[in-house]
Amino acid sequence: MAELVKLTIDGHEVSVPKGTTILEAAKQIDTLVPHYCYHPGLSSPAMCRLCLVEVEGAPKPLPSCVTTVTEGQVVKTQSEEALGHRKGVLEFYLVNHPLDCPICDMSGECDLQDYVHLEGRKHGRGIEPKRVFGRDDFGGDVLFYGDRCVMCTRCVRFMNEVEQDECLTVVERGNRSVIDTFFDEGLEGTHWHGNVVDICPVGALVSKDFLYKARAWDLDHTPSVCASCSQGCNVLLHTRDNLVHRVKPRENLDVNAWWMCDHGRLDYEWMNVGDRLEAPLVRGNEGTRTAKSWKDALADLLERASALDDKSVRAVASARASNEDLGALAELVGAFGGGETVFRSPRAEEEIVLKGFPTLARRTDLAPNVKGAGLLGMKRVGADDATGGLESVAGHSGIVVVLGDALADQPEDFGSKAGLYIYLGTHDSAAAQAAHVVLPITTHAEQEGTFTNHEGRVQRFWPALEAPGMARPAWLILGALDAELTGEAGPQTAAEAFAELSEAIPALGGLTYEDLGTRGAVAGTKGAVVGTQGAPAGAAAQAARG
């Protein structure tokens, strides 16, 4: 256990590990000392001079971002002296900072706005013209407004220390200092540069993709998990008018710290694509498809299934489906009588590692739940041959179930030989034309659930968007079918669906949503072996039923 140091901050006694800075210690009593250059994931140059606090016995105010705590130390963050110095520093920042809040993308989430409102002067005293640098395109997704820059150098230090690609630097000196790229070499060749926009405390660095899209106060923030690869970065989906407008990293030191890759950051428009499946479609004997209610569609499906002689199942799933969805699919396959379930996931040629935080990378598996599908005993197939690895499914004469895979590489007669072909998807496709029943499902942005990342960490996500029409989570649909076949009650919530799955799969070790919280938990931490490949949920559940 780390040695603890006891000190007093603003009259409150605080105990923190030895080596903690005053700024971080103050957070223990919910006191945020204003600061610019400091960021917990970067070095601390103590150059902005905004985080000054009074320390008894010190001859002058000290920068709290680099001053470590000592036993018996008495700190005053709100004393007249500390506030006076911070007020003076803020006034200097405003000497040249433009008053363009009405058109600045950072308005509403800008530290300078907040700090000045909290501790700054009520009226400015500047009468000299402000400096003008104009706008510069840094390449990639980043624009730089030099007039707004407060020279905290967070962006420079991120590129040097974390991405370790020295694309940014400070040029000139004094009041002429400005951030710049090296000649014609910008950020376009880097893979993590979007993070400099996140850590910029003002509107100096902005995203081209988000420019003038929305005001910060109009956006709802929903915790989620990035679905672009198996890293499982914790993110926030920023939404308005039932559309995702941007994706921001959410702090989780066990997974992605404060960062995320540019690919995942900009890979969100697929959540906004229209032309969705909005009602169950049932194909009649003449080949036409008719929209029906859920009750009628599922009743027709079960009637067709009961009339089959061959009830063997071949199922294909997408690794973008949640653990709950995949578990419900495995249960249904078991309830029909058993069969093989395969899944597919695209692959990148190589991992792109964040050098300064090497446990974070854009993984080669470009889907979020490859590990989860493996834990459920599903077999991975590739898309390297003409059949896309689905030859055992495409020509099957029994029951064919497709969950979430758009089958973009499959012909229109896919599944045409099946006695019953069930397609669960978000969009219609050519390969779904032969399906006897097409069922509309939600994306992960429209439902609650979990993914299991590459290291076996199970993480929750929450609904950020309203589902279109009659679309429902796949676990709810499949659970209802399983309940009709087995006579047992199906799960009514995602938490219940996960609890049933966790009990059935030894590798999940009995985890619950409460165990996962907002940061997740590694599979096996409640007694199971991490990475152990469990039996399919359907088979496990059948064995438990006796």
Q: In the chain, how many domains are there?
A: 3
Residue 542 has pLDDT above 70, yes or no: no
Residue 261's pLDDT is: 97
Residue with the bigger pLDDT between 396 and 389: it is 396
- By the 8 A CB rule, do 486 and 480 touch? no
Residue 249 has pLDDT above 90, yes or no: yes
What is the token pair recorded at 86?
A: 């911070």
| Bridge pairing between strands 52-55 and 4-9 | unpaired
Q: What's 66's domain CATH number? A: 3.10.20.740
The pLDDT-based confidence of 387 (bands split at 50, 70, 90) is low
Residue 2 has pLDDT above 80, yes or no: no
Q: Are residues 217 and 131 in the same domain?
A: yes
432-461 tens-digit pLDDT:
999 999 999 999 999 999 999 999 999 999
| Average pLDDT score over residue span 259-277 | 96
Q: Are residues 251 and 286 in the same domain?
A: no
Q: Are residues 53 and 144 in the same domain?
A: no
- Residue 23 maps to a domain: yes
Residue 531's pLDDT is: 35
- Residue 387 maps to a domain: yes
| DSSP string covering 450-489 | EEE-TTSEEEEE---SPPPTT-B-HHHHHHHHHHHHH-SP
- Residue 103 maps to a domain: no
Percent of the chain with pLDDT over 70: 95
| Average pLDDT score over residue span 293-307 | 95
The pLDDT-based confidence of 142 (bands split at 50, 70, 90) is very high
What is the token pair recorded at 19?
A: 């080596």
Amino acid at 381: V
Task: Work out the number of other CB atoms within 10 angstroms of the CB of residue 86.
Answer: 25
Residue 532's pLDDT is: 33
Task: Work out the number of other CB atoms within 10 angstroms of the CB of residue 399.
Answer: 26
Report the range of poorest mean pLDDT among 45-49, 180-184, 300-304. 180-184
324-346 tens-digit pLDDT:
999 999 999 999 999 999 999 99
CA atoms 260, 261, 265, 269: torsion sign: negative
- Residue 106 maps to a domain: no
Residue 538 has pLDDT above 50, yes or no: no
CA distances from 348 to 190, 229, 365, 371 (A): 17, 9, 7, 16
Q: What's 457's domain CATH number? A: 3.40.50.740
Q: Are residues 361 and 442 in the same domain?
A: yes
Q: Are residues 463 and 341 in the same domain?
A: yes
- By the 8 A CB rule, do 205 and 239 touch? no
Residue 10 has pLDDT above 70, yes or no: yes
Q: How far is Cα 12 from Cα 442, in angstroms, rounded to an integer? A: 49
| Average pLDDT score over residue span 272-298 | 94
- Residue 44 maps to a domain: yes
Residue 526's pLDDT is: 60
- Residue 119 maps to a domain: no
Q: Are residues 483 and 447 in the same domain?
A: yes
Q: Are residues 257 and 298 in the same domain?
A: no
Mean of pLDDT over the chain:
91
What letter would DSSP give residue 355? Answer: T
Q: Are residues 294 and 346 in the same domain?
A: yes
Q: How far is Cα 414 from Cα 9, in angstroms, rounded to an integer? A: 69
The pLDDT-based confidence of 507 (bands split at 50, 70, 90) is confident
**Residue in the block written with tokens 């428009």:** 269
Select from 41, 63, 78 the last residue of a domain: 78
The pLDDT-based confidence of 16 (bands split at 50, 70, 90) is very high
Percent of the chain with pLDDT over 90: 82
Q: Give Cβ neighbours of residue 173 (< 8 Å, ≥ 6 apart).
A: none
Cβ-in-10-Å burial (0-12, 13-18, 19+) of 128 comes to exposed
Residue 371's pLDDT is: 95
Q: Are residues 448 and 338 in the same domain?
A: yes
Q: Long-range contacts of range 393-399, CB-CB < 8 Å, 24 or more positions apart?
A: 393/314, 393/315, 393/316, 393/342, 396/312, 396/314, 397/310, 398/308, 398/310, 398/311, 398/312, 398/313, 398/314, 398/339, 399/305, 399/308, 399/310, 399/311, 399/312, 399/313, 399/314, 399/336, 399/339
- Residue 101 maps to a domain: no
Q: What's 258's domain CATH number? A: 3.30.70.20
| Average pLDDT score over residue span 293-313 | 94
Q: Are residues 359 and 507 in the same domain?
A: yes
Supply the range of the domain harboring residue 64: 4-78
Regarding pTM above 0.95, the answer is no
Q: Are residues 161 and 293 in the same domain?
A: no
- Residue 468 maps to a domain: yes
* Degrees, nearest 5: CA angle 89-94-100: 150
Q: How far is Cα 198 from Cα 188, in angstroms, rounded to an integer? A: 17
Residue 529's pLDDT is: 35
